[in-house]
């Protein structure tokens, strides 16, 4: 559709003009308010706005579908018509910068957050953040998760001074909304609706080939947040016990291993811990 472009790149003098024309073509491709770019026409040189319009529509539709595939929960929550409108606006504001389509849509959570019509639905931002984290977990490089046998090599006192290396696929989404239930809209809409007053947190991991999501309450989310930020196991347990008497340290440690949230560990002897006695330490492992 771009006429007489065959030898454009053969001349250094023509290169700036080629860049300008390519930029004009790309801009017009995603903005229906712009005219058909120069050089797009029939064999006789006459403009071809209808042909370009068909091509433009095909490109935009394919990008909207790519965004829908990346954010299926958001699409199902909003409904097809609303999502199409929002996605079309996003595509025009944030066109792809790379041929790697798995990174297309990375600005979508921030886009939703700053979009005035969606200010009355702030929960959508957290759902979008969760879906973005799911994609990152899916596409990141593999890493071997920590196993329980490695953890058992340390003495009880050393165990409380352990810090962990976060698995590259691990993400914790903390929210004051029911982010886990809303995230599940990608599978099916719940028959009884969602309690929007409920606060949920979502741990996203990929210990092996599949991505897993784990719903966490406030206390367990706090435990994982401390661990993933480099706090010692003892400090994470001590802080969580202060938050809730129902916190089960053994269950939390088991969950840390089962989800594959961390890859390795080391003893940090420079930090004080909030769990001191041997009896307390041993009790923490009674369920592991």
Domain presence at residue 191: yes
Does residue 174 share a domain with residue 70? Answer: no
Q: How much is the pLDDT for 92?
A: 85
Q: What's the pLDDT tens digit per position in 173-186?
A: 999 999 999 999 99
What is the C-alpha to C-alpha distance for residues 116 and 147, in angstroms, rounded to an integer? 46
Residue 118's Cβ-count burial label (10 Å; 0-12, 13-18, 19+) is middle
Q: In terms of C-beta density within 10 A (0-12 exposed, 13-18 middle, 19 or more buried), how is residue 33 classed?
A: exposed
DSSP 8-state class, residue 267: E
State pLDDT tens for residues 147-161. 999 999 999 999 999
Q: Is residue 15 very low, low, confident or very high in pLDDT (cuts 50, 70, 90)? A: very low
Indicate if 113 and 166 belong to the same structural domain: no
Are residues 252 and 203 part of one domain? yes
pLDDT in tens, 81-135: 999 999 999 998 898 877 777 788 999 999 999 999 999 999 999 999 999 999 9
Same domain, yes or no, for 82 and 39? Answer: yes
Q: What pLDDT, on the 0 to 100 scale, is given for residue 64?
A: 94
pLDDT at 60 over 50: yes
Over residues 132-151, mean pLDDT:
96
Does residue 56 carry a pLDDT above 70?
no
Q: Quote the pLDDT of residue 55.
A: 61
pLDDT of 211 strictly over 70:
yes
* Residue ending a domain, choose from 75, 91, 121: 121
Q: Is residue 129 part of a domain?
A: no
The model's confidence at residue 46, banded by pLDDT at 50, 70 and 90, is low
Same structural domain, 108 and 174: no
Same domain, 218 and 102: no
Average predicted confidence (pLDDT) for the chain: 83
């Amino acid at each position: 559709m771009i006429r007489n472009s065959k030898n454009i790149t053969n001349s250094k003098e023509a290169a700036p003009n080629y860049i300008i024309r390519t930029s004009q073509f790309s801009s017009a491709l995603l903005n229906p308010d712009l005219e058909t770019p120069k050089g797009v026409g029939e064999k006789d040189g006459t403009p071809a706005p209808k042909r370009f319009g068909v091509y433009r529509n095909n490109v935009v539709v394919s990008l909207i579908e790519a965004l829908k595939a990346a954010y299926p929960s958001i699409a199902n929550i909003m409904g097809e018509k609303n999502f199409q409108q929002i996605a079309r606006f996003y595509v025009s504001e944030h066109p792809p910068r790379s041929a790697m389509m798995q990174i297309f849509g990375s600005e979508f959570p921030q886009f939703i957050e700053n979009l005035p019509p969606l200010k009355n639905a702030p929960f959508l931002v957290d759902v979008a953040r969760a879906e973005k984290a799911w994609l990152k977990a899916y596409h990141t490089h593999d890493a071997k998760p920590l196993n329980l046998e490695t953890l058992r090599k340390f003495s009880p006192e050393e165990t409380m001074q352990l810090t962990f290396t976060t698995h590259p696929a691990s993400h914790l989404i903390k929210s004051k909304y029911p982010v886990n239930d809303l995230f599940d809209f990608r599978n099916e809409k719940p028959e009884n609706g969602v309690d929007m007053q409920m606060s949920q947190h979502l741990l996203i991991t990929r210990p092996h080939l599949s991505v897993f999501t784990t719903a966490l309450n406030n206390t367990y989310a706090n435990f994982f947040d401390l661990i993933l930020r480099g706090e010692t196991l003892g400090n994470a347990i001590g802080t969580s016990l202060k938050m809730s008497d129902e916190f089960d340290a053994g269950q939390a440690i088991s969950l840390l291993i089962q989800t594959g949230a961390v890859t390795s560990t080391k003893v940090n002897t420079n930090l004080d811990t909030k769990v001191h006695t041997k009896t307390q330490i041993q009790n923490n492992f009674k369920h592991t």
